[in-house]
Amino acid sequence: MPAFEPRPEVLSGHTADVYFKRSIEILQAEGRNPEATMEVFPGRPGVLCGILEVTALLEKVLPPDKSEVWALSEGEGMAAREVVLRIRGPYLDYGLYETAICGMLAQTSGWATAARQCVDAACGVPVVSFGARHVHPNVAGLMDYAAITGGCQSCSSLSGAELSGTAAVGTIPHALILVMGDTVAATLAFDKHMPADVQRVALVDTFKDEAEESLRVAQALGKKLASVRLDTPFERGRVTPELVTEVRARLDQAGYEYVKIFVSGGLDADRIHMFVHSGIPVDGFGVGSYISGARQIAFTAAL
């Protein structure tokens, strides 16, 4: 279970809409604190995420002997306007946190829903979240956690992996290859210095033709090479079915049938669906901005 700890600025109400803070002050001054029930529901269907963070907050602020909390499970599907969370207790104990509760659910559920769309489109082919570079570092871990809640096998950020209880995964960045001056040299250096339990996945689109680079690194690493990653940029036509088919054929012809092909770069659920249902031999997908840039799911809290 992830260890969510409410931040001080959330507990103090500093992140709340100001009218909630003012309302709490008014009710305290009036001596009013009735038992109330609040129900929270989404504006559109999707995958629920963030409920564990919400319940961690509620455990901090609600009196256990005077309150009840009911919720759907993390990662569960939800319908539009379906109640996903119900809180019953003295209003002054939780009223200040309506903003935080809705916010915790809104963005993470949006990320998880986009991830689930990609995972469903992949039909069993592993999907990895590569979107940490597209969000503020303060929420990168939450984004990757949400992606894994939505079904991604793993993620690239250490913080997301820690929250979700998985191991962070990654290949080799273009930067290392450019600094080393050669794809094979960078891959050999990676192999030399990284622990044996880190998979050797070579990026093969930096200096030479992808198929040529794939053969070069396969020859250099032999059985140590787990996969090659195709990340051809948009300016060069992106990764196409024809490119994957060519790389697969060239590897197979040279005796490297064991080397897998991992595809990233501008992927979304539709492109993943196209690769899978066209029978293109992709062994894994890395998805970035489609997940990290997903539209949030607006939640409403009704007292």
Residue 53: give its domain's CATH number: 3.90.1170.20
Asked whether residue 2 is assigned to any structural domain, the reply reads no
Same domain? For 84 and 126 the reply is: no
**Is the pLDDT at 219 greater than 90, yes or no?**
yes
Torsion angle of the four alpha carbons 174, 179, 183, 187, in this order, in degrees rounded to the nearest 10: -90
**Per-residue pLDDT reduced to its tens digit, 35-92:** 999 999 999 999 999 999 999 999 999 998 999 999 999 999 999 999 999 999 999 9
Q: What pLDDT score does 232 carry?
A: 87
The tokens for 32 are 């009013």
Mean pLDDT of all residues in 241-268: 96
188: Cα separation from own chain's centroid? 30
Residues 267 and 166 in one domain: yes
Same domain for 209 and 275? yes
Residues 207 and 248 in one domain: yes
pLDDT tens digit sequence for 130-169: 999 999 999 999 999 999 999 999 999 999 999 999 999 9
Amino acid at 94: Y
**Would residue 3 count as lying in a domain?**
no
Q: Measure the CA dihedral 225/226/232/233, to 10°.
A: -110
Is pLDDT above 90 for 234?
no
Could you tell me if 96 and 124 lie in one domain? no
Bridge partners of residue 263, in order along the sequence: 230, 285
State which amino acid sits at residue 258.
Y
Quote the percentage of the chain above a pLDDT of 90. 95
172 pLDDT exceeds 70? Answer: yes
Residue 165 confidence (pLDDT) = 93
**Do 40 and 188 sit in the same domain of this protein?**
no
Q: What is the mean pLDDT of the chain?
A: 96
Same-domain pairing of 156 and 251: yes
Based on the domain organization, do 28 and 163 belong to the same domain?
no
DSSP conformational letter for 295? P
149 and 95 fall within a common domain: no
Mean predicted confidence (pLDDT) in 113-120? 98
In a domain, 1, yes or no: no
The answer to whether the beta carbons of residues 187 and 200 sit under 8 Å apart is: yes
Q: Is the pLDDT of residue 216 over 90?
A: yes
* Distance separating alpha carbons of residues 205 and 139, to the nearest angstrom: 30
Residue 169 domain flag: yes
The count of structural domains within the chain is 2
Q: Give the pLDDT confidence score for residue 1 in this predicted structure.
A: 62
Task: Say if residues 136 and 174 touch (Cβ distance below 8 Å).
Answer: no
**Domain identity same for 175 and 239:** yes
CATH code of the domain containing 243: 3.20.20.70
C-alpha dihedral sign at 252, 254, 260, 264? negative
Q: What local confidence, expressed as pLDDT, does residue 43 receive?
A: 98
Same domain, 156 and 236: yes
In a domain, residue 237? The reply is: yes
**What count of Cα atoms within 13 Å lies in the side-chain half-sphere of residue 101?**
27
Calculate mean pLDDT across residues 172-183: 95
- 141 and 273 within one domain: yes
d(CA 231, CA 222): 22
Q: Which domain holds residue 230?
A: 119-292
pLDDT over 90 at 235, yes or no: no
Is residue 240 assigned to a domain?
yes
